Amino acid sequence: MTSTTTGIFDITGKRALVTGASRGIGRAIAIALAEAGAHVVAAARTEKALKETAALAADAPGQIDILATDLRTPESAEAAIHCAAETLGGLDILVNNAADDHDSSIEETDLKVYQRVMDLNLQSCWVMTKAASPYLKDGGGKVINIASVLGLVGMLDDSVYIAAKHGLIGLTKAVALEWARAGVQVNAIAPGFVDTAMIGNLKENEALQAYVKKKTPMGRAAQPEEYAGPTVFLASSASDFMTGQVLVVDGGYSTQ
């Protein structure tokens, strides 16, 4: 075990795949892991945006390679794991971050919307975690699922996203138990409101700003970069005795 405080957060040489890395939390996480020394494959649909993510980490001790792919089908999700492992020479860290949302009541949500949100938010995570098994168990590894505070509580008019995120937390706990003796830690991070495109244009929407301020005890939305530290912690040896847990980073939202 590394004895220094700085050393336990060092992930130099670790091999990581981060999904949804073209913007928002995923971009911040991919950059943070590279800055902590990891070799990262950043995956998302938009190649141009992925190149921007990689450019932002150009001076990092680690590096970012990109993988343009749509993870909604089981075939593409599984292929992404094997492609990343081939690029990296293995896989130590899997960050399931890619997500989609659709705000509407259950009556107004059709099955196509349900399937689209579930395919990305839950199915892809299950498929990728399963496909990553032989790589992660080769010496121990880390799975970090980016869930949501809405995987712990409810909210009006968001039933599919909430169901998917509750499912992702359940998946986290189940696989953590299955892999505990294999030396693989499986944990989740549950963000609250984050200033990303998923919640809308926060800077120009005063009503949305007021809503977030009212609902969040800390009085603001998080910035994507505020999830860098929690992710590096879960990716590093600092969290080696932590598995099946949900690290809630929501500005106090879930305490109410």
pLDDT at 1 over 50: no
pLDDT at 199 over 70: no
Active site residues: 161
Element at 185 (helix H, strand E)? strand 185-191
pLDDT at 110 over 90: no
Percentage of the chain lying above the pLDDT 70 cut: 96
Q: What is the pLDDT of residue 167?
A: 97
pLDDT at 209 over 90: no
Binned at pLDDT 50, 70 and 90, residue 178 comes out as very high
Region 115-134: mean pLDDT is 95
With a CB cutoff of 8 Å and minimum separation 6, the contacts of 148 are 161, 165, 190, 191, 192
Q: Which residue has the higher pLDDT, 7 or 249?
A: 249
**Axis-axis angle for helices 74-88, 124-136 (nearest 10):** 30
Query: 169 near 189, Cβ under 8 Å?
Result: no
Binned at pLDDT 50, 70 and 90, residue 51 comes out as very high
Average pLDDT along the chain: 92
Q: How many CB atoms lie within 10 A of CB 102?
A: 16
State pLDDT tens for residues 93-105.
999 999 887 778 8
Query: Would you kindly state where each structural domain of the chain is located, as residue ranges?
Result: 10-249
State pLDDT tens for residues 4-48.
566 899 999 999 999 999 999 999 999 999 999 999 999 999 999
The secondary structure of 24-49 as a DSSP string is: HHHHHHHHHHHHTT-EEEEEES-HHH
Region 36-61: mean pLDDT is 96
Q: What is the pLDDT of residue 104?
A: 80
pLDDT at 161 over 70: yes
User: Which of 24-28, 118-122, 206-210, 229-233 bottoms out in mean pLDDT, i.e. has the lowest?
Assistant: 206-210
**Residue 97 corresponds to which amino acid?**
N
Coil, strand, or helix at residue 18?
Answer: strand
Q: Please tell me the distance from the alpha carbon of residue 122 to that of residue 23, in angstroms, as a whole number.
A: 19
Q: What is the pLDDT of residue 157?
A: 66
Region 193-202: mean pLDDT is 77
pLDDT at 153 over 60: yes
Q: What is the pLDDT of residue 6?
A: 63
pLDDT at 211 over 60: yes
**Fold held by 10-249:** Rossmann fold (3.40.50)
